[in-house]
Amino acid sequence: MLSTSDLEGRLTKTIVYPALTVFIALVVRLIPIILAWPYPTGFDTTAYYLPRMIIGIPSLSVIFYLAQLHQWILSSTYRVFPNPFLILNVVAMILQASLSLSFYAYAKKVLELSEKLSFVASTIGIFNLLTLRLTWDQYRISLGLIFGILALVALFSKSIRVRYVALPLIILVVLSNQLPAAILIFTLLIHFIWKRNWSWESAPELLAIIVGLFLFIIQQLPASNNGLTTSVPITIAPGLPGSIVAFTGVGFLLYTSWPLLLFLPFTKIRNEFHHLWLLAVFLFAFLFPLAGILILVLPSSFTYFLLIFPLVMAFGLAFDHREKKFVRRLVIITMVFSIIISVSYLVTSPLAPSPYSLVGGVFAQDMPLGYLQSTVPISQEDQLMNLLGMAMISIPPNSTLFLGAQFYGLSYMFANPNRINISNLGIVSSSNNSLIAISSVKGSYTIWWTTPQGWYGISSLPSDFHIWLKDGEFSIYSIT
């Protein structure tokens, strides 16, 4: 029988380590928020989440067919507390803490590591570029990953009632994002087939697979009554194009996660959730592209974001055998390098990237050179906001203002007294230079950098563009 002091010590461990896990995750994500205040970091946060949040709560069909659970959360919160920048920042912190806590829960409940080892494993997950990249702007993938890990934790429970909790969790994964949904369903399917010793206790897992797979398949079908289509493009690209995507993804993984990849040799592949999850990601991210099947055309490396989960678990298992002198040294080196790389990334801008970010410059499309940016460097955001405010009151009434997706979302932060027709050009880039297309629309206006300098691959502007109003790095151009 445990003494009172032993019970207190056990209770302390049960509470303190998860609390520390959440606290560290919140502090880490709070660093860029403080440095970027009041603006949220992340491209999608500004280009997509912000305008849709302000427009209104999405319909049920949009939530289901386009996996917009995150947008429902953001829009519903905005209805109660209409401060979009603060909402986006707070949600980023909650996602970071929830990811860390889900890592802890899996390590403790499924791997059955001690509270201390689970804490260390979840902490190394916080200080990883993949985790930081997820909470930079991939709220939807983060949400799906969190629900997915918790579903696996529920299915591992000894209680049959707790296992049935996986059913609503897998539904939430499907509503969050198709990518973690596909990985989770594939993982559960292989796990169920592999074990072969089926019994009534397997009913929760089988039911979760059936419901998840059914909803996922229905979700991929276009909704004929409103024209919605799936947000997961599939392209056939045999030969060199597919191989380039496959090996570029491997390079991206090495760049972002080499400290954790060092521990994979200490893990034997078994019929366990995290091992099968790793194989599923490898299948979708490498083998499919190598065979010429591209699940996500651009960016090419998003699937690898989901590998952070099994990599953290591999680290935890290796750390559990730290009595080996070599492993103990490797753990220390890994933690030191991970913290240095992550913190230096958190506090830098693309205008002055860290040396390590420069090494990975080839992956800038998937991993921005600096954390302190939204669709523009945070240091330039004040100028852009000032110019957008002036545009709303200065451009003649009923005129047309063309904005790239980089600026379009921010325009929702301002009143439009002159009833300007604001048109979204989509993401302006070298591969989609819609600025050239609008040069024939005389009498209209647009906003871009005063000196393009290669931003988004745009090094020059059409001759029909003339500076109409300027504020620092940005200008309103009249098209004449």
Identify whether residues 148 and 223 lie together within a single domain.
yes
What pLDDT does residue 320 have?
66
- Which of 76, 103, 93, 49 has its CA nearest to residue 306? 103
Alpha carbons 478 and 455: distance in angstroms, whole number:
20
Is residue 444 within 8 A of residue 479, CB to CB? The reply is yes
Identify whether residues 315 and 456 lie together within a single domain.
no
198 within some domain: yes
370 within some domain: no
Exposed/middle/buried for 164, CB within 10 Å: 0-12, 13-18, 19+? middle
Identify whether residues 337 and 259 lie together within a single domain.
yes
421 within some domain: yes
What pLDDT does residue 231 have?
47
5 within some domain: no
What pLDDT does residue 124 have?
92
What pLDDT does residue 290 have?
82
For every residue of 356-403, DSSP letters joined together read HHHHTGGGTTTS-S-SSBSSSBHHHHHHHHHHHHHHHHHSPTT-EEEE
Q: What is the pLDDT along the chain (480 residues), one digit of tens a residue?
A: 555 555 556 666 778 899 999 999 999 999 999 999 999 999 999 999 999 999 999 999 999 999 999 999 999 999 999 999 999 999 999 999 999 999 999 999 999 898 989 999 999 999 999 999 999 999 999 999 999 999 999 999 989 899 999 999 999 999 999 899 999 999 999 998 887 677 778 889 999 999 999 999 998 876 544 444 444 556 666 667 778 888 888 999 999 999 999 888 877 666 688 989 999 998 888 888 888 777 654 445 788 999 999 999 988 888 766 556 777 778 888 889 999 999 999 999 999 999 999 998 888 888 999 999 999 999 999 999 999 999 999 999 999 999 999 999 999 999 999 999 999 999 998 888 888 989 888 999 999 999 988 889 888 899 899 999 998 899 999 998
Identify whether residues 354 and 397 lie together within a single domain.
no
Identify whether residues 43 and 88 lie together within a single domain.
yes
395 within some domain: yes
What pLDDT does residue 59 have?
93
- Which of 406, 330, 439 has its CA nearest to residue 45? 406
368 within some domain: no
Identify whether residues 209 and 303 lie together within a single domain.
yes
Of the residues 308, 340, 363, which one is the last residue of a structural domain?
A: 363
Name residue, tokens 């949009």. Answer: 62
Of the residues 340, 363, 386, which one is the last residue of a structural domain?
A: 363
Identify whether residues 33 and 115 lie together within a single domain.
yes
- Written as six digits, the tokens of 452 are 């393009």
Torsion of CA 257, 258, 260, 261, to 10 degrees: 110
Of the residues 363, 396, 416, which one is the last residue of a structural domain?
A: 363
206 within some domain: yes
Identify whether residues 349 and 430 lie together within a single domain.
no
What pLDDT does residue 245 have?
81
Identify whether residues 158 and 69 lie together within a single domain.
yes
pTM of full prediction above 0.85:
yes
Q: What is the extent of the structural domain holding 400?
A: 378-479
Beta bridge partners of 400: 421
What pLDDT does residue 330 have?
80
3 within some domain: no
Identify whether residues 388 and 340 lie together within a single domain.
no
The domain tally of the chain equals 2
* Antiparallel, parallel or unpaired: β 293-294 and 235-236: antiparallel
Cis amide bond preceding 38, omega within 30: yes
Identify whether residues 81 and 209 lie together within a single domain.
yes
What pLDDT does residue 297 have?
47
Identify whether residues 359 and 423 lie together within a single domain.
no
Q: Which residues contact 344 (CB under 8 A, 6 or more apart)?
A: 354, 356, 357
**Cα 181 versus chain centre, distance:** 14
